[in-house]
Amino acid sequence: MDKLLEGLYGMTWQQGVMILVGLLLIYLAIKKEYEPMLLLPIGFGAILTNIPLSSAIGENGFLTILYNAGIRTELFPILIFIAVGAMIDFSPLLRQPVMIFFGAAAQLGIFLAMLLAASTGAFSLKEAASIGIIGAADGPTSIYVANLFAPDLLGPISVAAYSYMALVPMIQPPVIRALTTKEERQIRMDADYDSKVSKKVLILFPIVVTLVAGIIAPVSVGLVGALMFGNLVRESGVLERLSKSAQNELANLVTLLLGITIGSTMVAERFLAPTTLMILGIGLLAFVFDTAGGVLFAKFINLFLKSKVNPMIGAAGISAFPMSARVVQKIAQEEDPTNFILMQAIGANVAGQIGSIVAGGVLLALVG
């Protein structure tokens, strides 16, 4: 009988708290629909990990095997990037290439959060870089960098990254409204919705981006190359079955395995520490800094433009696609129901996908 109940006897209060955290993530995924494809498996993985004497972890535990095979080797994040690349249509960005600058400006939060984390004295430079990358608003990039620089912090960094991505509709509007006037939020932007991007350009784009980013920061080739390979499969027109498989079967399977494996890193002894609260706090500030950086950049260039840019477009430059673009369009229509800036917001949002990966590559090159 004691053998059957040894899990109960071995339960610590820390493990009990982490099981409650796992249940909270599952609740948010199901009831609130916050990133359910990831928060649900992450939450269940946390429960499996924190059951005393769990056979799911350890030398022969399936979660440990998945971690060693998919996270430690960076395989899962890379496969996710291939799937995401196959899903993205870069034509809104190619119709308005200037939006790439908004995608770059909205990465400000990565570097400010990194400096803030480093200034606390609680984290090494590599750990600070891993925390800063939460501001990429890109879960796979956060996992990729954290696994290389701070594997012990992978759990809280991943949870922060995906949780705040789900909370973009709550985080961004107050920041946008605080930094803009009603008149600025009502600015209209002309868009040529009927303009076409040639198939040749769509095919060349992922190849050129990979070459340019790879030459500037070779360490980024794994990230950028996987994303752009998936996009090339999509745009080539000759790999329709593979493109659909990447968008559906590959994305679904790897997301499932990635989520539950990330949950296995939420071990009570490591997660329930003051540094976890600091990571969550700095991660939130990273998203705020990202939004502010994009908006302020748009306001700055408006000083030199005759045809003004709606500064809310800058907020869409983060990588949380397509939620951020939807947030911007929603605010625009609240101010003026006839104002449609979704096309420009999508362009900036797609640029943010590239910007976040390049920023992650820059951190890997500079800090690594």
Signed CA dihedral, 225, 73, 258, 270: sign only: negative
Classified as helix, coil or strand, 62 is: helix
- Collect all residues with Cβ–Cβ distance below 8 Å to 344 and sequence separation of at least 6: 96, 99, 189, 191, 310, 313, 316
Contact 213, 221 (CB under 8 A): yes
* Tokens 């800090």, residue located: 367
In angstroms, rounded to a whole number, what is the distance separating the alpha carbons of residues 163 and 283? 10
**Global pTM value:** 0.86
Helices and strands in the chain: count of H runs, count of E runs: 22, 0
286 burial class (0-12, 13-18, 19+ CB within 10 angstroms)?
A: buried
pLDDT tens, per residue, the chain with 368 residues:
556 566 666 788 899 999 999 999 999 999 988 888 888 999 999 999 999 988 998 888 999 999 999 988 989 999 999 999 999 989 888 888 888 899 899 899 999 999 999 999 989 999 999 999 998 888 888 888 998 899 989 889 988 888 888 888 889 999 999 999 999 999 988 766 567 889 999 999 999 999 998 888 788 888 899 999 999 999 999 999 999 999 999 999 999 999 999 999 888 888 888 899 999 999 999 999 999 999 999 999 999 888 889 999 999 998 887 889 999 999 999 999 988 888 889 989 999 888 888 888 888 888 87
